[in-house]
Each structure stands twice: as C-alpha cells, then as structure tokens.
C-alpha cells in the first residue's frame, strides 16, 4: 500500500481536523484523515463502548500499565487508579519533564474525553490574544457557526436548581457568593435533555454514572456524532484509524509525503505506509502538530520552517484545587460528571480567574468542592527536538506555573475566608498539595498563528501546508478552548478553500 496519492490529507480527527475535513469534503476535495487512535463505536463484552471512571479497564488509557486519573488519591491513598493492560485506550497523559498533558486518542480526539464545556471567550481577551484576527467576523459568523455545528446546548436553570445531581455546584455557588464572586452557567455539548431523562430513569445513565474522562457511552455529542459524521456524509472524506504519522517530507514537485505506521490495538506495528498528498493539514493537536513540525525542521526534512515552530506553548493557566466543606454542608453523593457552572472573576485586574465548578462523582459523600481554574499566566514553554528519542520535548518548568497558582490561590483564599473552610491537601498525590501545578487539559500553542504560520494557519516557508488546531493559539484563551479552536478552524479553512484549494483543482 505504499506510494498512494490523495489530494488532501488531514492528520488527526480532533476539532481543527474535523472542521477542515468537513469543509474540504463539501468543496468536493477527496480527503484522507489519519488518526493514531481507534474508532470508538463497538461495545466490548460488558455491552459498553467505553469503561466507567470508577472501574477503569484497558479501554481507559493510551498504552499504560496503570491508569493515571487527574485526582490520583483520596486521603492520600492511591484508591483511584487501577492496573491495566497496555492498549490503544482513549485517554493519554503525555509526560514531559515538569508538565504532563492529558489528550484524547481516537476518532474525535479530545471530544471523546473532555468535559464538553463549550465556552466562547471574552471578546476583549480574544482580541488581546489574537489581535490579527478580525474579532467582529469571529463573533458574528464563526463562533455561532461552531456552536451550531458542535450542537452546544444550555442547562434548564429550573432543573439545575432542583436536581440532586447539581447540588455540588449550588453549594459552591453559594460559597462563592459569600466571597462576593459571581457565577455563570457554562454551555455544553452534552445533551442536557438526555441528562434529565437519565435522572428520571428514561435513558441509560452516562453523565449521571460518573462517565467522562474515559468516554461517555451516552449523551455526549462528540465530534464523531457532529462534524466527523457530516464530513463522512459528503462522500469525499475517509478516515483511517490506528495510523500514526511519524514524519513529513516534501518532494521536488511540491507534494508532501507522510511516513505512517499502522498498528493493531495492542501496539504492534502491522505495516509502514508512505502516503503522498498535495495539501496537508495538521490537526494532531498542540502536542502532535508541533512535534511533527519541530521534527521535520530539525531533521532537515522541511528545513525552511521558521524558528517560531515550537514556540509559544502554554497550559491555558490550568490549575485544579479542592476545598473541604463543613460536615453540615455536604456536596452530595450523586453528582453529574458534566460541569454546568463557573466562577467568573476574569475582570479582576489583579488576578483574572475563570474557575469551573467540577464534580467529584465518587458515589458517596466526600464534602469536597473541586475546581478547574483557568488563569492568565504569561509564561510560555518551547518544544525542542531531541535527536536521541526522535521526540519533541517540552521546555517548561514547575516555577513557570507559579503565577497561575498565585492567581487561583487569591480567589480560593477569598472563598475559604468567607466560609471558614480549608483546602484539601490529599487529592493530588502522596505529598501535601492543595494546587495541581504539574498537569493540564488545555495544551495550546507551538505553531502560533501569525508567527509559525500566516494569519490563516498556512505554515511559513511552505505552500499547501497548514496548521488547523490548538497549536495556533498562543498558550492562553481564558476559557475552555475547543469552541475557539473550532471557530478559528472554520475561519481559516474558508479562506484556504477559496484561495488555495479551489484554484489548485
């Protein structure tokens, strides 16, 4: 199967990739998507496609011998993680020296494992982060287009107020209010009507059964059910799974050749393929797309890539923390795994924070209030090619997360003071730790728009080579990032199809 040619290849099947493939397919362009993970649509022996959070098995993780859940401990006990067989599971935790990054693996990328929170950034901050992008166009055209295609929906506020499943969020809202802080509802791609039917017993439970980071068996409108289904529906797009792109080079006629390893689900490489294409779209995520380009530049395969490739990475200021509530203030044994409320203190000039009120769906009362804080951390990391391992390594130190911890601390100190409560120190591993500063869910940057690429994601130095994903956003966007990634990809691909693809055919 070596030596095949397709007009367009899209690497990855996450947000940027899915948008690009759909629009290319609609434009009549034969497009091949290459995804290193699996297609998640076949039930295993237990009748479910995905495994649950409380009893994880090999489906949970991308080639690990033990699960690596974000909350590794409870009362310092390692009670949450389980030994498993290495397998092409759905959630990966990529470890760098002083930062680990959670990413999704499979058809749909991060949409398979994420919390589904679909948040449009504050316009003023969007303009600060991406000044060269026409914000009026984004907010009038591309954000609405992304929200519609992603099937973003809103929780019914009346149901939110009455259901036991969001007691944890109401408790946190009241405590934030005592500290003078405002909360806001957070839209989601999880179907809230389905969730209500879960609560009444009319639909099988997923969000209400603690499912999220290892996949939702029901209710979640992940990309395989939205953009990717539509892309396949054009009849022009095909997806190959368990295909990992390892290298990119260019031929004399300007076409690109990809080296691809096809594996089985146990990780054994079955075949090696070389696939050539005219137009190449990188949608392998901040880590994946950046690594492919850093490797291509520094091995000499694509020597004209500029010095900005690998720069401008950040974890979107992600910091998690937990608070201990008084015994008379329980958060509930029943908690929806889908967050629905955030504390919005982004306009605080001293320390902007947007903190999602996260569930801890343990099935028993924990008295814990959990949060994912998104802060404005100006620190940035760099990806550097390591010849010995042929990997891109992330230069980012733990100290670089200190501004993010400071900002989160200033907010949660206020809440603790107003409620005479304390932090939990037992949730993030064996040591005393009240803030997680060594992992993130929102990797952004590495091939920043207008620096490593032009203003539309065309890679500087090469024709017909594009970055479509979270690598374009310079390290921070102030809210959960997938709506921004989607909308930006919509904007860029519209221009690329009009100017590069249509004229080329």
The binding site for ligand FDA (CB under 6 A) comprises 11-17, 34-37, 102-106, 109-110, 113-117, 213, 244-245, 283-286, 288, 441-442, 469-470, 480-482, 485
Judged by beta carbon, residue 216 or residue 421, the one nearer ligand FDA is 216
Grouping H, G, I as helix, E, B as strand and the rest as coil, residue 313 is: strand
CB of 464 to ligand FDA, least distance (A): 19
Judged by beta carbon, residue 35 or residue 437, the one nearer ligand FDA is 35
DSSP run (H or E) holding 31: strand 31-34
The 3-state secondary structure of 131-187, one letter per residue: CCCCHHHHHHHHHHHHHHHHCCECCCHHHHHHCHHHHHHHHHHHHHHHCCCCEEECC
CB of 96 to ligand FDA, least distance (A): 15
Instruction: Return all residues near 227 (Cβ < 8 A) that are at least 6 apart.
Output: 15, 18, 19, 21, 22, 149, 150, 486
CB of 70 to ligand FDA, least distance (A): 7
CA distance linking residue 216 with residue 209, whole number of Å: 9
DSSP run (H or E) holding 144: helix 143-150
Q: Where are the beta strands (DSSP E) in 136-232?
A: 183-185
CA distance linking residue 433 with residue 125, whole number of Å: 31
CA distance linking residue 270 with residue 233, whole number of Å: 29
Q: Is 442 a catalytic residue?
A: yes
Phi and psi based region of residue 400 (left: phi greater than 0; alpha: psi -120 to 50; beta: remaining): alpha
Judged by beta carbon, residue 36 or residue 155, the one nearer ligand FDA is 36
- The angle formed by the CA atoms of residues 221, 223 and 228, to the nearest 5 degrees, is 130
Grouping H, G, I as helix, E, B as strand and the rest as coil, residue 259 is: strand
Judged by beta carbon, residue 257 or residue 485, the one nearer ligand FDA is 485
Judged by beta carbon, residue 39 or residue 135, the one nearer ligand FDA is 39
CB of 338 to ligand FDA, least distance (A): 9
CB of 486 to ligand FDA, least distance (A): 8
Grouping H, G, I as helix, E, B as strand and the rest as coil, residue 309 is: coil
CA distance linking residue 335 with residue 194, whole number of Å: 15
Judged by beta carbon, residue 25 or residue 288, the one nearer ligand FDA is 288
CA distance linking residue 477 with residue 316, whole number of Å: 6
Max Cα–Cα distance, the chain, nearest Å: 72
Instruction: Return all residues near 47 (Cβ < 8 A) that are at least 6 apart.
Output: none
Instruction: Return all residues near 399 (Cβ < 8 A) that are at least 6 apart.
Output: none
Torsion of CA 340, 408, 92, 442, to 10 degrees: 70
DSSP 304: T
Tokens linked to 35 = 């995804």
Catalytic residue among 211, 334, 442, 490: 442
Judged by beta carbon, residue 354 or residue 396, the one nearer ligand FDA is 354
CA distance linking residue 354 with residue 374, whole number of Å: 5
Judged by beta carbon, residue 197 or residue 244, the one nearer ligand FDA is 244
Judged by beta carbon, residue 179 or residue 247, the one nearer ligand FDA is 247
CB of 421 to ligand FDA, least distance (A): 26
CA distance linking residue 332 with residue 366, whole number of Å: 8
R_g of the chain computed on alpha carbons: 22
Catalytic residue among 68, 211, 240, 356: 356
Please say whether the beta carbons of 473 and 494 come within 8 A.
no
Q: Is 311 a catalytic residue?
A: no
Instruction: List the 91-95 sheet strands across, edge first.
Output: 91-95, 100-104, 439-440
Q: Which residues are catalytic?
A: 356, 442
């Amino acid at each position: 199967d070596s030596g095949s040619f397709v007009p367009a290849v899209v690497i990855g099947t996450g947000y940027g990739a899915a948008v690009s493939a759909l629009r290319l397919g609609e434009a009549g362009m034969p497009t091949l998507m290459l995804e290193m993970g699996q297609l998640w649509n076949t039930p295993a022996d237990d009748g479910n496609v995905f495994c649950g959070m409380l009893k994880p098995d090999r489906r949970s993780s991308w080639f690990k011998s033990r699960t690596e859940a974000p909350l590794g401990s409870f009362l310092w006990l390692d009670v949450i993680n389980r030994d498993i067989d290495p397998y092409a599971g759905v959630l990966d935790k990529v470890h760098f020296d002083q930062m680990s990054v959670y990413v999704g693996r499979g058809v749909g990328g991060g949409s398979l494992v994420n919390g589904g929170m679909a948040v449009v950034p504050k316009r003023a901050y969007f303009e600060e982060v991406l000044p060269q992008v026409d914000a009026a166009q984004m907010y009038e055209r591309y954000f609405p287009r992304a929200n519609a295609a992603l099937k973003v929906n809103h929780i019914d506020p009346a149901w939110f107020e009455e259901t036991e499943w969001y007691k944890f969020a109401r408790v946190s809202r009241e405590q934030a209010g005592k500290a003078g802080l405002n909360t806001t509802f957070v839209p989601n791609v999880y179907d809230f009507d389905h969730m209500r039917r879960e609560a009444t017993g009319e639909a099988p439970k997923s969000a209400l059964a603690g499912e999220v980071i290892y996949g939702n068996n029901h209710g979640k409108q992940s990309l395989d059910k939205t953009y990717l289904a539509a892309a396949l529906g054009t009849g022009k797009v095909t997806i190959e799974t368990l295909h990992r792109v390892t290298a990119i080079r260019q031929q004399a006629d300007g076409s690109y050749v990809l080296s691809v390893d096809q594996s089985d689900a146990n990780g054994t490489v079955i075949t090696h393929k070389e696939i050539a294409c005219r137009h190449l779209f990188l949608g392998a995520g901040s880590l994946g797309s950046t690594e492919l380009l850093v490797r291509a530049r520094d091995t000499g395969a694509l020597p004209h890539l500029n010095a900005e490739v690998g720069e401008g990475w950040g974890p979107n200021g992600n910091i998690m923390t937990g608070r201990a509530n008084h015994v008379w203030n329980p958060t509930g044994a029943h908690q929806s795994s889908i967050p629905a409320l955030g504390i919005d203190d982004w306009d605080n000039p001293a320390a902007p924070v947007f903190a999602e009120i996260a569930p801890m769906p343990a099935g028993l009362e924990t008295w814990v209030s959990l949060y994912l804080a998104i802060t404005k951390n100006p620190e940035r990391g760099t990806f550097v090619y390591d010849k010995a391992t042929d990997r891109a390594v992330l230069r980012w130190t733990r100290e670089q997360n200190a501004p993010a911890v400071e900002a989160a601390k200033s907010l949660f100190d206020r809440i603790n003071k107003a409620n005479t409560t304390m932090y939990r120190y037992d949730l993030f591993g064996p040591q005393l730790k009240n803030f997680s500063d060594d992992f993130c869910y929102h990797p952004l940057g590495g091939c920043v728009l207008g620096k490593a690429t032009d203003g539309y994601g065309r890679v500087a130095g090469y024709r017909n080579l594009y970055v479509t994903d979270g690598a374009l956003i310079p390290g921070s966007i102030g809210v959960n990032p997938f709506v921004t990634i989607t909308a930006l990809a919509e904007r860029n691909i519209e221009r690329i199809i009009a100017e590069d693809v249509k004229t080329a055919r």
